[in-house]
Structure 1
Amino acid sequence: MRRVVFYLFFDHDGQVDDYVLHALENLRSHSEHIFVVSNSELDAHNRARLETVADTVWVRENVGFDVWGYKEAMTEFTQERLVEYDEIILMNYTFFGPVKSFDPLFESMDAQHDLDFWGVTNHGEVVPHPFNADLERMPMHIQSHWIAIRKSLFASDDFVTYWATMPMITSYNESIDYHESRFTKHFSDLGYTFDVAYPESDYPSIHPVFDNATMILRAGCPIVKRRTFFHDPLYLDRNAILGREIDEILIANGYPTELVYSNLARTTQARVLATNLSLVEILPEEDLGYDESNPLRIAAVVHLYYEDMTDEILDRLQMLPGSFDLYITTTDFSKKSIIEATLARRSVVGEVRVVESNRGRAESAFFIGCRDVIQSDAYDLIVKLHSKRSPQDDFAKAELFKRHLLENLLGSPGYTANVLRLFQQHPTLGMVFPPIIHMAYPTLGHAWFTNREAAAVEAKRLGITVPFDESTPVAPYGTMLIARPQALRRIADGGYTYDDFPDDSNWGDSNLPHVLERLMGYAAQQDGFHIRQTLNIKFASIYYAFLEYKLQSVAALMPAYPEEQVAFLREVHRQRAAGVFPHALTVHDIAEVPTLAILKYRVMRRSPRLGIVLRPGYQLARGALRRLRRAVVSRRH
């Protein structure tokens, strides 16, 4: 069968990731012509990458979403050329594949000679329409990530008219209304026949490629939606969608999942990705198989402001498998002498450097004082430690923070071997560090503190476009980590000097050390590296118990499901900002909020059309409740 593939590509940065090339390479044996239409500007490098797998690479202005991309690409190709082929496929960049091979899919669908069009997956009917209040229902439809169209349809006047009358698309919802959810019914009603390789009627949901991804993959579906991994984690939680199991299925079926990690790391909020793929590794003390025949070349870079902690840090470094090169920075020559004496006593070889300035403390010592180590190609990994004492905190809190960092990075020889083994297993793993500490510190939901605005400025200067996490960045809090040098170079090459860092009199949030602490992960992700967090079994047990208790204590004051809890709390904050609660919030006040807020959330999520109809009544009820609260407040005072 002579076939043309029109592949719609878009990337915010115009970067063509390997997953795109992988998909197109595997379509080549089934396609006589591959036409890539890019809604992104492409530089020479990225255009050349596409040209290695495509016959045509055509760049257009990013207007009309994918719908107008297809429309104008077919016009560019010309109808005269189209009718020389037996089938065209309109597909886009929103899936990873093939899982195993595209061959069975094409063999199955090519055998159905009486079809006019077909798709890989479809979405079941939704009543009422979730995006358009003027429509009663969204019909069952083939999903637009892959619609194959035979000559009997695309050579028809019906097809030409469909595209000629297509209005300009100005929103995602319009792309659903005017094309994706319309195409199947429109042509089916005209008498054209279709089929779906993996129909929703075979699965327990109306959206199986998303809600039943593990089932549909096990049934042989060769694609998985990218959105599965960057969608709202609260939705995945509510619907028991396990991204890590999807990932395991991809691995078991031979899909190179590093293509998934490298693309999503650059384009997805780190906290969302870490949650949906469960990138927190709970590692045992027993070595699971670090490959000593192919050891990683390691540089240990340590800042010792407190020289009396030298033995403690060296004890931790002895957990590393095999040899390593040691670089120590400190702040004056008297400390250097003490450190060198400790090294000599322990027969440890290492280079001790006195930094030019203590402005920036451990961060300037690392990114400036050891910039040459980071920029060197002599090492596969850098282990970054420092003498953490946190004298501003109570002893127990400071000791827990230090233990949290050291024991969850370098807990024991077997545990540490397992941490390093992650780098052997995952070429795109750029950095590991312990998860955010949430015992004794008010970090959960607040860890940007006052650093976000300054971080945005610095990210722009460094060329970091990875979307920021909303409230709690995935970051190496306490700045102890293990990383590939390449994952650190964006910051190391940032041209920083000691004068850019604050002295001790100006130390605090919003200054450069705290900003870089939160940007390290984003910088690694910008260059296609993903991040994992590591915990030993002991701390995982402790933290889970306390985290569950804290969550239960908060959740007891709210609705049951996290999605509804978030909606409820946003309503509380909105009303407080509007002055509904002029006094300090009490449990009584909070208890009054959910009735209308949760009702609104449930209706708008499940039936937007009904929600629009009921909006005037909701607004009247909310106004009445506000007046009642004000009356109660006035009586209290």
Structure 2
Amino acid sequence: MKNVYDIRHEKNLLYILSPNGDSDEKETVSENIYAKTAVIFYLYYLHTLSVYLPYVDGVSKDIDIYIISSRKEVLEAVRTHLNQSGRKRVQYILKENRGRDVSALLVEGAEIIKPYKYICFLHDKQARNAKVKQDTDLWIENLWGNLMGGSDYVANVLRMFEENRRLGILAPPEPVGDNFCTWYGYGWHKSYSVTRELADMLQLNTDLSPDKPPITIGTALWFRRQSLQKLFDFGWRYGDFDDGKLRYQDYLSYGIERIFAYVAQDAGFDTGTVMTVDYARKQTNYLQYSTSILFSEAKRFFPVPCISDLKAYKINKEKLLRFAGKNRNLYLYGAGEMGRFCFFLLREANLFPQGFLVSGRDGGSMVCGLAVTSIQDKKECLDCAVIVTAFEERIRNEMVKNLKDRGFYNYLVFWGD
């Protein structure tokens, strides 16, 4: 069984949909599919309703809407707004002020979802402080715009589910932003252990690994009811949630928002990512720029320039550590970027070379606190082990020839085949 993160990549379960539709696209959504679809909104903040009501207005009037809040004034404000638009298929639910959006979905939503085939769940958000407000605003656009981008967009989302019967969930992409690290593979945020406990409690047959980040963040998603039925059947109660623990990253709610794709996998369904064309443009632009900054700065400490080299690095690192672990009188051939890189990899594993070797007569200096010796001056070679550190093939070959010419046969080429 593969991890959901890898499955999404290998199957290319990334859907970039137009917010508009034409008649041909609409015809592919069966006439009664809207009757089998529900949208659940959890709204808490009265002062930000103006941000979210346009998304609510964009839902087709043939789709049932459920507005859930723990605040009467929010429900009344939404009711007043929707009554003015003449919308009929709306229910308003006052929930207990406990568990926030997660209990809105799992406690109140457990009965709501039963007659439906497809459900969308969304909730409002508020920035924790001014520093992250711009990133949070982009995240709100990510969650709401990519899941509820207008009636034609929703028709396109439903068409994706109808055309791909193995598709169980469509979630917005992992958030990007100057203060967010989730997109770069850090989506667990110390919540892996509670997610693992939750998976065991639900007896999920799934691949859950701390080395593979989750692909649902923020409790916002479209889902096929069948794909998450096991999660809803658990019988959640308000007493399961303690909002005082929300400041801890290993709290239950943070595990639940990350568990959706694994529940779907257990039920035999895939999880994909969906976004609008406009958001995809913004995200691509941001990631292109930020990735360039990251790699440029990281090159000082991690001189691996592309993804294929990153994959090769893992194999080469294991090879390096095995060789160094067997040889104590160890030297690194090359004192440049890759030489220093190898030194830090060894030091991290509590393996310490004797020094650096270089070609020509450039010895006599110090690098990383170790002496640099010219290979021409290195006479004692019978018990020496050498790691050739060069990245460029031509230089590696020259180094190997220099070693053999001087009787060094116990060596390892760190990089290369």
Other-structure match for 1:42: none
TM-score, L = length of structure 1: 0.47
Amino acid at match of 1:415: Y
Q: 2:86 aligns with which of 322, 325, 347?
A: 347
Q: Deviations over 1:397-421 (max 9, x none)?
A: 2111101111112223333322221
Distance in 1 (CA, whole Å) between partners of 2:247 and 2:235 is: 21
Deviation at 1:362, TM superposition (A): 0.3
Deviation at 1:483, TM superposition (A): 0.9
- Are 1:319 and 1:416, in contact at CA under 8 Å, matched by a contact in 2? no
* Secondary structure, aligned partner of 2:369: helix
CA 1:540–1:333 in 2, change beyond 3 Å: closer, same or farther? closer
Deviation at 1:431, TM superposition (A): 1.0
Other-structure match for 2:232: 492
- Are 1:524 and 1:530, in contact at CA under 8 Å, matched by a contact in 2? yes
Distance in 2 (CA, whole Å) between partners of 1:589 and 1:344 is: 70
CA 1:335–1:554 in 2, change beyond 3 Å: closer, same or farther? closer
Distance in 2 (CA, whole Å) between partners of 1:549 and 1:332 is: 41
CA 1:553–1:468 in 2, change beyond 3 Å: closer, same or farther? same
- Are 2:67 and 2:92, in contact at CA under 8 Å, matched by a contact in 1? yes
Amino acid at match of 1:425: E
CA 1:547–1:359 in 2, change beyond 3 Å: closer, same or farther? same
* Secondary structure, aligned partner of 1:394: helix
**Quick check: 1:317 aligned with 2:51?**
no
Matching of residues 130-169 of structure 1 within 5 Å: none
CA 1:275–1:435 in 2, change beyond 3 Å: closer, same or farther? same
Other-structure match for 1:294: 31
Q: 1:408 aligns with which of 133, 146, 151?
A: 146
Matching of residues 248-397 of structure 1 within 5 Å: 267-287=1-21, 289-290=25-26, 291-296=28-33, 297-310=36-49, 312-321=51-60, 323-349=62-88, 350-356=90-96, 358-374=97-113, 376=114, 378-392=115-129, 394-397=132-135
TM-score, L = length of structure 2: 0.70
**Quick check: 1:447 aligned with 2:187?**
yes
Deviation at 1:539, TM superposition (A): 1.9
- Are 1:360 and 1:512, in contact at CA under 8 Å, matched by a contact in 2? no
- Are 2:228 and 2:260, in contact at CA under 8 Å, matched by a contact in 1? yes
CA 1:321–1:507 in 2, change beyond 3 Å: closer, same or farther? same
CA 1:379–1:278 in 2, change beyond 3 Å: closer, same or farther? same
Matching of residues 9-88 of structure 1 within 5 Å: none
Over the aligned positions, Cα root-mean-square deviation in angstroms equals 3.4
- Are 2:355 and 2:370, in contact at CA under 8 Å, matched by a contact in 1? no
Q: 1:507 aligns with which of 247, 267, 288?
A: 247
* Secondary structure, aligned partner of 1:486: helix
Distance in 2 (CA, whole Å) between partners of 1:306 and 1:457 is: 32
CA 1:324–1:413 in 2, change beyond 3 Å: closer, same or farther? closer
Distance in 2 (CA, whole Å) between partners of 1:396 and 1:493 is: 38
CA 1:328–1:625 in 2, change beyond 3 Å: closer, same or farther? farther
* Secondary structure, aligned partner of 1:432: strand
Paired residues, number: 332
Amino acid at match of 1:317: V
Deviation at 1:384, TM superposition (A): 0.5
Deviation at 1:295, TM superposition (A): 3.7
Other-structure match for 2:310: 565
Deviation at 1:472, TM superposition (A): 5.1
Distance in 2 (CA, whole Å) between partners of 1:361 and 1:625 is: 58
* Secondary structure, aligned partner of 1:489: helix
Deviation at 1:515, TM superposition (A): 0.6
* Secondary structure, aligned partner of 2:81: helix
Deviation at 1:319, TM superposition (A): 3.1
Other-structure match for 2:415: none
Deviation at 1:632, TM superposition (A): 5.1
**Structure 2: which 5+ runs fail to align?**
326-334, 358-365, 372-417
Distance in 1 (CA, whole Å) between partners of 2:263 and 2:336 is: 43
Matching of residues 149-298 of structure 1 within 5 Å: 267-287=1-21, 289-290=25-26, 291-296=28-33, 297-298=36-37
Distance in 2 (CA, whole Å) between partners of 1:554 and 1:308 is: 37
Other-structure match for 1:437: 175
Distance in 2 (CA, whole Å) between partners of 1:590 and 1:400 is: 38
Deviation at 1:298, TM superposition (A): 1.3
Distance in 1 (CA, whole Å) between partners of 2:277 and 2:336 is: 41
Other-structure match for 2:269: 529
**Structure 1: which 5+ runs fail to align?**
1-266, 579-587, 601-618
Between stretches 336-345 and 515-524, larger displacement belongs to 336-345
Quote the sequence identity (%): 22
* Secondary structure, aligned partner of 2:104: helix
Amino acid at match of 2:17: L
* Secondary structure, aligned partner of 2:258: helix
Q: Deviations over 1:80-112 (max 9, x none)?
A: xxxxxxxxxxxxxxxxxxxxxxxxxxxxxxxxx
**Quick check: 1:421 aligned with 2:152?**
no
CA 1:622–1:632 in 2, change beyond 3 Å: closer, same or farther? closer
Distance in 2 (CA, whole Å) between partners of 1:449 and 1:391 is: 16
Distance in 2 (CA, whole Å) between partners of 1:306 and 1:623 is: 60
Distance in 2 (CA, whole Å) between partners of 1:629 and 1:496 is: 60
Deviation at 1:629, TM superposition (A): 6.0
**Quick check: 1:624 aligned with 2:354?**
yes
Deviation at 1:469, TM superposition (A): 4.7
**Quick check: 1:482 aligned with 2:222?**
yes
CA 1:354–1:560 in 2, change beyond 3 Å: closer, same or farther? same
* Secondary structure, aligned partner of 1:365: helix
Other-structure match for 1:35: none
Distance in 2 (CA, whole Å) between partners of 1:525 and 1:595 is: 40
- Are 1:368 and 1:496, in contact at CA under 8 Å, matched by a contact in 2? yes
Distance in 1 (CA, whole Å) between partners of 2:30 and 2:237 is: 40
Q: Deviations over 1:547-567 (max 9, x none)?
A: 233333444412234243256
- Are 2:58 and 2:149, in contact at CA under 8 Å, matched by a contact in 1? yes
* Secondary structure, aligned partner of 1:421: helix
Other-structure match for 1:552: 292
Q: Greater relative contact order (Cα 8 A, min sep 6): structure 1 or 2?
A: 2
